[in-house]
Structure 1
Amino acid sequence: MSTVSDSVSLSAPAGSDASLTPKQLAAKYGLTVSGKRPSLPQYVKQLWARRHFIVAFATARLVAQYTTAKLGQVWQVLTPLLNCAVFYLVFGVMMKSRDGIPDYIGWLCIGVFIFQFTQSAVMAGTRAISDNLGLIRALHFPRASLPIAFTVIQLQQLLISMVVLVGIVLFVQPPGLTWLLVIPALILQCFFNTGVALVMARIGSKTSDMAQLMPFLLRTWMYISGVMYSIQDAIKHFPPFAKLLLAINPATIYMDLIRYGFMPNHYNKEALPHHVWAIAGGWALVAGLIGFLFFWKAEEQYGRG
């Protein structure tokens, strides 16, 4: 079907069409606005049709990410391990957060790796549109492909890092059936991350300063999520409403699930919130649906202006 942009004026054809407005002429001859947002079912269909592009784009960006570094892809594992070492020194040794937490090193590493998955996905999503304007303006494709692809990149990085994480956990915990719980927990976290990345992609496309603000917000989120210390012990004397908010924090929920999956014999099951799987599923569903709809609503605006 032929298309015409809003900014293009249609010349009035001879005869009876001369008195018609451009919009009336477009409707009469079946013309549509260039870049018009597709319906939600059409958008989902287009996105699914480009699933191979999303995976290929994510893989290519992942490979290229560390090409200039001498250690190359080793940094995918080395970065979270260095963070673990710093947090262990500051929080575990100096602030004695390791007291009362059995096998603190494994517990800490799980928290760092899992939170970094969310942190990196949200940060990459914030820049997904603004950093790829050339690609957006040159090619026609569902713009949601970009924040989804960047979430896939972070998932690929996490899976690579998981090899080292499993090795760390094996020093303190033999494998068991609860390890299988890690798979659905990561799937739910991936849906949550994608939804938040979509929300931040739309906001970041309109507010460039958001990319500068996000590191501070994410760092604050990390400190109140119990990555380096037991959040349950820290909030014992908090007011009930504050306890509830911190207990249902999605970052805390996903870390708790995966920590329990890997280390059931060294984790206090009573510290897990009631119906924790329902909470994790609820966050994944709400963030995924709201994020997708929020992003789709502005589909025709990305790359313009």
Structure 2
Amino acid sequence: MSARSEPGPWTWPVTMGWEDVCTGLSPVGTRGDLVGYTRRLWAWRHFIWEDARARALASQRGTVLGNTWLVVRPMLDASVFFVVFGLLLDTSSGIDNYVAYLIIGVTLFQPMQRAVTAGSQVMVSGRNLLRSFSFPRAALPLSFTVRGAIDLLPPLAAVAVLIILLPPHAAPGWTWLLTVPVFVLQQALCLGLTLVAACLTTALPDLRNLWGFATRFWYFASGVFFSFETILGSSQALALVELNPGYLVLRLYRTCLLDGQVPSLRLWALLAVWSLGLSAVGYVLFWWREESYGRER
């Protein structure tokens, strides 16, 4: 019998070189091709959902009123705008149901604002997770968007109840069902905004100081508390305003909920182009910079 013993399971073979050790290993965070990346991301769909569900409705944990603040805070904001712009500056002229108009604007614009400001920090806040194990990095913006959609459901339900109860009382109708596709397009828009903002902020961290100013300007330019239809006399100027996706979202919600009408096909098409187009562009841009996330700067 030979005295030479075979290597055990934990024995390092003497003849093994670094080339043999590294065979079959691949760098963490590589993006691969777009189709393969999308397949990997789909395989992580359960993680995306569970992560979003676990974090949803959690922003007010530790407070006395808890998730009630998700509804109360937009209502308080609407009250401030009602006093300042509705009573003092009289921007309510020409709007039949200004209270409901204002509640819809203040409550339903905030998710898009948050998609930029908070969404831009998704990769920064998840940096430890990025360095721990390999997974498609777009899972984090997707989880953030799903979480935002869940967080919006209670305020959206509160909006529907309030515009029924508060005078002059909006009457529910079948057009209220059209808020479902509006909601879906809004979340697609939020996803695109988050992907673009997160990607750009990772490349240029100074942008996190500018997103707040940009979204504040967008807020005032989207007709949250006044009506462009009343202020602008020119149809050409109004057509230019309708290129603003924030205005489009609020316009479609208000048309369905307050006017009881079906929004024009042009408005649907414009919002669909913005939502789907920005999501697609943001996704490709995010995938293109996949390898840069989680690096030390």
Q: Which TM-score band (shorter chain)?
A: 0.7 to 0.9
**Equivalent residues in 2 for 1:32-51 (5 A)?**
32-51=26-45
- Work out the CA distance in 2 between the residues paired with 1:139 and 1:11: 23
- Work out the CA distance in 2 between the residues paired with 1:148 and 1:90: 37
1:130–1:208 CA contact under 8 A, matched in 2: no
Change (3 A) 1:12 1:282: closer
User: Which has the higher relative contact order, 1 or 2, with Cα contacts under 8 A spaced 6 or more apart?
Assistant: 2
Change (3 A) 1:141 1:103: same
2:29–2:136 CA contact under 8 A, matched in 1: no
Q: Over the residues paired in the alignment, what is the CA RMSD in angstroms?
A: 2.2
Which runs of 5 or more structure 2 residues have no equivalent in the other structure? 1-16
- Work out the CA distance in 2 between the residues paired with 1:157 and 1:70: 18
- Deviations, residues 33-77 of structure 1 (Å, cap 9, x unaligned): 443212111111111122221122122222432222222111111
- Deviations, residues 240-273 of structure 1 (Å, cap 9, x unaligned): 4x544322100011111111111125x8x8xx77
- Indicate the residue corresponding to 2:5 in structure 1: none
Matched, 1:264 2:259: yes
- Indicate the residue corresponding to 2:199 in structure 1: 202
- Indicate the residue corresponding to 1:177 in structure 2: 174
Change (3 A) 1:101 1:141: same
- Indicate the residue corresponding to 1:299 in structure 2: 290
- Indicate the residue corresponding to 1:249 in structure 2: 244
2:195–2:283 CA contact under 8 A, matched in 1: yes
Quick one: percent identity of the two aligned structures? 34
1:288 aligned to 259, 279, 289, which one? Answer: 279
TM-fit CA distance, 1:192: 1.1
Change (3 A) 1:12 1:152: closer
**Equivalent residues in 2 for 1:211-222 (5 A)?**
211-222=208-219
- Indicate the residue corresponding to 1:78 in structure 2: 72
1:98–1:104 CA contact under 8 A, matched in 2: yes
Moved more, 30-39 or 180-189: 30-39
TM-score norm. by structure 2 comes to 0.86
Matched, 1:164 2:158: yes
- Work out the CA distance in 1 between the residues paired with 2:37 and 2:230: 46
TM-fit CA distance, 1:125: 1.4
- Indicate the residue corresponding to 1:19 in structure 2: none
1:124–1:147 CA contact under 8 A, matched in 2: no
1:124–1:150 CA contact under 8 A, matched in 2: no
**Equivalent residues in 2 for 1:19-98 (5 A)?**
32-98=26-92
Which runs of 5 or more structure 1 residues have no equivalent in the other structure? 1-9, 14-25
Q: How many residues get paired?
A: 277
SS of alignment partner, residue 87 of structure 2: helix
2:170–2:258 CA contact under 8 A, matched in 1: yes
- Work out the CA distance in 1 between the residues paired with 2:90 and 2:278: 35
TM-fit CA distance, 1:31: 5.5
- Indicate the residue corresponding to 1:22 in structure 2: none
